Amino acid sequence: MKFLITLVFILSAMLLVLKDMTEIYAVNAEVAEHKYSDDFKPNLNNPAELGYVNWHRNFGKAVELAKREDKPILLFFNEVPGCNTASGYGKNVMRHPLIIEAAETLFIPVAIYNNVGGHDREVLDSFGEPTWNNPVVRFIDSDRKQLTPRLAGDYTKLGLVRSMIKALKSDSKPVPDYLNLLEKELSAERAGKEKAIFSMYCFWSGEGSLGNIDGVVSTKAGFMGGKEVVQVEYNPRIISYDKLLRAADKGGKADHVFAANEDQKRIAKKLIGKDRVSNEKSFMLDREPKYYMSKTHYKYVPMTPLQASLVNSAVGKRQSPHKYLSQRQLGILNSIKNNPELNWKDHRASDDFIAEWNYTIGKLDTVVSKK
């Protein structure tokens, strides 16, 4: 009998190892399909009003390309050179790496100057757009059918990303997870993110469990008041502090709460008792942020805070995190894996996604592409 039990145990262990090896092979094969290319590079030669997107400038040729590739068209009207609003839109919206990727890979992006004559003026007039106007974005199909309401007066990243998502859905195209995640992060910024701090028996596993809760947009493991804590930023319109605390305390995992305000203190005392609640103190980041990523190549891939939290959580559960990353992020990952001898930068402690992205793309361009 003991022999049979031992045999069953050994066979079970072998099956688990085989399952892990199969999943690892599948993940590696998926990454290998994505490669770094010059398409990743931002167009630094653009006027400020156009950001870093690689725009098409001939509308007729763009329509033909849209038909061949079966993609919707992102039609951008702007004043070039333009006022502060026109240049600000290019600098603040059209330079975000994930917005650039979405514009260039999910759409056929076309830029039309609204303050010049010739071809630009003909296209401008055909859509009834005014001259010398602030930025306007239209999403159309190759037959010029409007896919979403004209985007005007909203000069934010969130406005553009939401219109992108609506246009893709209207055109029966899939919306990649990275774009939906970006919308969640930008929505949280507009709503006003709130902070919650929970002391947990293990802040690494605590960060992993809190990182994939809907409404949470960032997580950090660290120390406060001599305790291991997880600091969470969340969208209060998606999840309340009450529900977040209940999730953190599930199974008695949250042994103490550091309240960021009087409302949190009142709610926490009611749910877990006044002896387990105190005021927020100084936070010190753990020396191994996003611990589950620390032994992987993912730590070298620039990610938004929400992506990093979700990837860290997935890795901790031995799941593939690739659905949370864009095709270009997977291409960066592939280049990093293929060039382990290079001194890649660990991005886990940084919240400046755009700066980390530009640094990494610069290194890929100067080192990897010339090998």
C-alpha Rg value of the chain to the nearest Å: 24
Bridge partners of residue 74, in order along the sequence: 109, 139
Instruction: Let me know: does 41 contact 80? Beta carbons within 8 Å.
Output: no
Q: Which tokens belong to 150?
A: 């004209």
Residues of the chain with pLDDT under 70: 1-35, 251-252, 368-371
Helix (DSSP H) and strand (DSSP E) numbers for the chain: 13, 10
Give me the helices (H) in the chain, please: 2-32, 59-69, 84-92, 97-105, 118-126, 157-170, 177-191, 203-210, 241-248, 262-272, 305-316, 327-338, 353-366
> How many whole angstroms separate alpha carbon 80 and alpha carbon 78?
6
> Could you report the per-residue pLDDT of 146-157, keeping only the tens digit for each?
999 999 999 999
pLDDT at 120: 98
pLDDT at 161: 99
Among all chains, which residue has been given the structure tokens 């730590």?
Answer: 299
pLDDT at 249: 87
Q: Is 315 exposed, middle or buried (0-12, 13-18, 19+ CB in 10 A)?
A: buried
pLDDT at 38: 74
> How many whole angstroms separate alpha carbon 155 and alpha carbon 27?
38
> How many whole angstroms separate alpha carbon 68 and alpha carbon 160?
25
pLDDT at 17: 38
SS3 281: coil
pLDDT at 365: 84
pLDDT at 24: 41
Among all chains, which residue has been given the structure tokens 């690739």?
Answer: 322
Domains by residue range for the chain, with CATH: 38-175 (3.40.30.10), 192-285 (3.30.1060.10), 296-370 (no CATH)
pLDDT at 14: 44
